[in-house]
Amino acid sequence: MKKKYLIVIADYYKDISKGLLSSAKSTLPKSSLIKIINVPGVFEIPVTISKNIKKYDAFLALGCVIKGQTPHFDFISHSSTDAIMKLSVKNKKPIGNGIITCLNMRQAIARKKKGKEAAQAVISVLSQ
């Protein structure tokens, strides 16, 4: 049976998001059914997954948070990660966390292929 994946991607940093999405999609099995939903930022990812939790077998959360001069980075990173973990455990469905947290744009560019690792993690959990 074909697995159904939902990729929720924050496109605040469009170039970074494009790399995360490309690396994730190239890793998922070709026979998969994949839907992509774009959201403005990583804070909107958990609620989007929650609204769709019953429709899909697995999820990928993709996006980027870059540290600025305020504590906003810490709040967004922690809140998003915590919400994604709670959704995954509560619903017993794998959610690959491909939200990269970086100190600057240089780090983000270097890590924009990390969507692949989130996809590999979800595939691994689905096969158990």
Three-state secondary structure call for residue 35: strand
From 2, 72, 78, 86, active-site residue:
72
Task: Please enumerate in sequence order all residues whose Cβ is within 8 A of that of 13, keeping only pairs 6 or more positions apart, or say none.
Answer: 63, 64, 66, 108
Please say if 78 is a catalytic residue: no
The sign one gets for the Cα dihedral 69, 47, 7, 5 is positive
Catalytic residues: 72
